[in-house]
Amino acid sequence: MILNVDLPSHPYDIVIKKGALASIGIWAKDLWSPQTVAIITDSRVADLYLADVQASLEASGFKVISFIFPEGEASKSLKTAESAYLFLAENKVTRSDGIIALGGGVVGDLAGFVASTYMRGIHFLQIPTTLVAQVDSSIGGKTGVNTSVAKNMVGTFTQPDGVLIDPKVLQTLEDRRVREGIAEIVKYAAIADVALWERLKTLKDEFDLIEHAEEVIYACCNIKRKVVVEDELDNGLRLILNFGHTIGHAIEATAGYGVVTHGEGVAIGMVQMNRIAEAKGLTPKGVTAQLIELLEKFHLPITHTPWEVDRLYNALSHDKKARGAKIKTIVLEKIGEARINLIDLTEMKDYLQ
């Protein structure tokens, strides 16, 4: 399966194919001339896939070096980025060389950020190995790192030269990481694809979903592809992809990065936002119950403890969707359709009650 992200300034393909990781060198050679390739990955993914990926790239004529950092959201920082810059400089990586992000969302965001800022930008490829990265974060060109103030506070918009998705690698994911990705899948269905929502209802659990991963990944990537092409820089329609994320990111930041996964935060955030929106008459009655039913089927959390309103509000006040004293929230018109709702930032306190 191939999807084209048809951006006027930088079009690229998303390839979805079981077993594709084994032929990454051939894929990369079609996109890049022989050069030095720096693989940026984390310690867990390196143990699983780095040797095979490196061998495939070398067989296709690339010189390969590898930067490995500790697994986890806490590593998505300016400190890790600086270490990567020094590694690239010490290995004499130039603007004609490239970076491959091999891993989940943390790896993709960090590696993309490094690629977009090292020597003012070198080209890169995304090889997502987690479900959340395959359905969401590897597509669209958002890169970034966290700060102590807020998640993804420092970042860029820089598109990769290609995205290679191998659903086969999901077999090595921990159950919690599978569920994390499913939260994003539920989000896509809720905001833009009632057919996907109905398909998710037919699946028994997270393990059944993995058996049908290709069709689900394709559906999500197709939604994001269309949204990114229409609104690459996140000023309009693309904001609907943030359903549940404003509160979710605040939960992640206040709990401590890695304590609550991104997907868990999104699941909780979707339920909390929609529950209050429903009480305010902005969303039809019963939609929150449908959300809860689907999330719980896939064993995702819908609440968080401790729920500290002041800390959560302080964290979300730094959200990138804030515009002065206003913030854009996402409201479900119905399952499969969403709209952007501009409110006063102070009204977000209502959504935290």
At 238-249, the pLDDT tens digits run 889 999 998 998
- CA 75, 151, 109, 133 torsion: positive or negative? positive
Across residues 70-95, what is the average pLDDT? Answer: 94
User: Which CATH code of 3.30.565.10, 3.40.50.1970, 3.30.70.100, 3.40.109.10 fits the domain covering 2-172?
Assistant: 3.40.50.1970
Across residues 325-332, what is the average pLDDT? Answer: 88
Q: Which residues pair with 38 in a beta bridge?
A: 65, 99
For 30-39, 160-169, 277-286, 304-313, which range has the lowest pLDDT when averaged over its residues?
304-313
Looking at the predicted structure, is the pLDDT value of residue 274 above 90? yes
Q: Looking at residue 323, what is its pLDDT? A: 62
**pLDDT band, residue 234 (cuts 50/70/90):** confident
Each residue's pLDDT tens digit, 155-194: 999 999 999 999 999 999 989 999 999 999 999 999 999 9
Looking at the predicted structure, is the pLDDT value of residue 320 above 60? no
Looking at the predicted structure, is the pLDDT value of residue 147 above 80? yes
Q: Looking at residue 216, what is its pLDDT? A: 94
Displacement of CA 112 from its chain's centroid (Å):
12
High-pLDDT (> 90) share of the chain, %: 69
Looking at the predicted structure, is the pLDDT value of residue 65 above 60? yes
Phi-psi region of 302 (alpha: psi -120 to 50; beta: other; left: phi over 0): alpha
Q: What is the dihedral of CA 56, 60, 66, 72, to 10 degrees?
A: -50
Q: Give the chain's mean pLDDT.
A: 91
- Structure tokens of 140? 């669209």
Displacement of CA 281 from its chain's centroid (Å):
30
- CA 66, 49, 99, 261 torsion: positive or negative? negative
Q: Looking at residue 232, what is its pLDDT? A: 82
Q: Is 122 exposed, middle or buried (0-12, 13-18, 19+ CB in 10 A)?
A: buried
**pLDDT band, residue 112 (cuts 50/70/90):** very high
Q: Where in the chain is the domain with CATH 1.20.1090.10?
A: 175-352
**pLDDT band, residue 272 (cuts 50/70/90):** very high
Q: In whole angstroms, what is the distance from residue 182 CA to residue 200 CA? A: 10
Looking at the predicted structure, is the pLDDT value of residue 200 above 90? yes
Across residues 325-341, what is the average pLDDT? Answer: 90
Q: Where in the chain is the domain with CATH 3.40.50.1970?
A: 2-172
Q: Which residues of 202-236 are buried (b: 16+ CB within 10 A; e: fewer)?
A: ebeebeebbeebeebbbbbbbbbbebbbebbebee
Q: Looking at residue 57, what is its pLDDT? A: 96
**pLDDT band, residue 322 (cuts 50/70/90):** low
Q: In whole angstroms, what is the distance from residue 41 CA to residue 105 CA? A: 11
Write down the residue that tokens 């790896």 correspond to: 107
Q: What's the CATH number for 175-352?
A: 1.20.1090.10
Longest CA–CA separation in the chain, Å: 60
**Under 8 Å between Cβ of 138 and 165:** yes
Looking at the predicted structure, is the pLDDT value of residue 117 above 90? yes
Q: In whole angstroms, what is the distance from residue 80 CA to residue 114 CA? A: 10
Q: Is 168 exposed, middle or buried (0-12, 13-18, 19+ CB in 10 A)?
A: middle
**Under 8 Å between Cβ of 331 and 277:** yes
